[in-house]
Amino acid sequence: MTVAAHKIAAASRDDKLVYHFGQADRFLIYEIGHKRSRYLETRRATPACTSDAEEAGHDKRIKEAAALIADCRAVLVSRIGPGAAIILQEQEIRPLEVSSLFIKDAVSEYAAETGKGK
């Protein structure tokens, strides 16, 4: 089964590690094809989570981050809060908590699994 090419995002702060969705200040965008991946671009974001979780604008920043990656099928994260996960799912973006914290490994594993038709 061949899977149509699509985009995914990886939440990060340093271009190397997968981060918590709300702490990410950038999303690395990849195109995923049949068992392969290709880096496309980096999109900058304002982190939604700060030291004060109740800070005004938190939900707004989550929605802005979701809009930034609206053309992606999934986002790879180390963790994600339930509210952010709901916002992403409402936009048909699948939040995936990954065990491989290095972006290149997490993207490769996603591409390999997607290539199997999962």
Provide the domain limits for residue 104.
6-115
Locate 104 and state its tokens: 């290149």
Q: What is the pLDDT of residues 69-94, one digit of tens each?
A: 999 999 999 999 999 999 999 999 99
Residues composing the chain? 118
Domain contains 40: yes
Domain contains 16: yes
- Tell me which residue has tokens 């509210």: 83
Q: What is the pLDDT of residues 2-43, one digit of tens each?
A: 568 999 999 999 999 999 999 999 999 999 987 789 999 999
Q: What is the dihedral of CA 5, 93, 114, 24, to 10 degrees?
A: 100
Domain contains 12: yes
Domain contains 72: yes
**Which pLDDT score, from 0 to 100, does residue 2 have?**
59
**Which pLDDT score, from 0 to 100, does residue 118 have?**
44
Separation in Å, CA 47 to CA 3, 7, 30, 53, 60: 32, 21, 20, 12, 11
Q: Is the pLDDT of residue 108 over 50?
A: yes
**Which pLDDT score, from 0 to 100, does residue 114 have?**
83
**CATH number, domain at 101?**
3.30.420.130
- Give the distance, in angstroms, between the CA of residue 54 and the centroid of all CA atoms in the same chain: 23
Domain contains 91: yes
- Tell me which residue has tokens 């304002």: 46
Number of domains in the chain: 1
Locate 39 and state its tokens: 């880096």
**Which pLDDT score, from 0 to 100, does residue 116 have?**
59
- CB-based contacts of 105, cutoff 8 Å, min separation 6: none
Domain contains 1: no
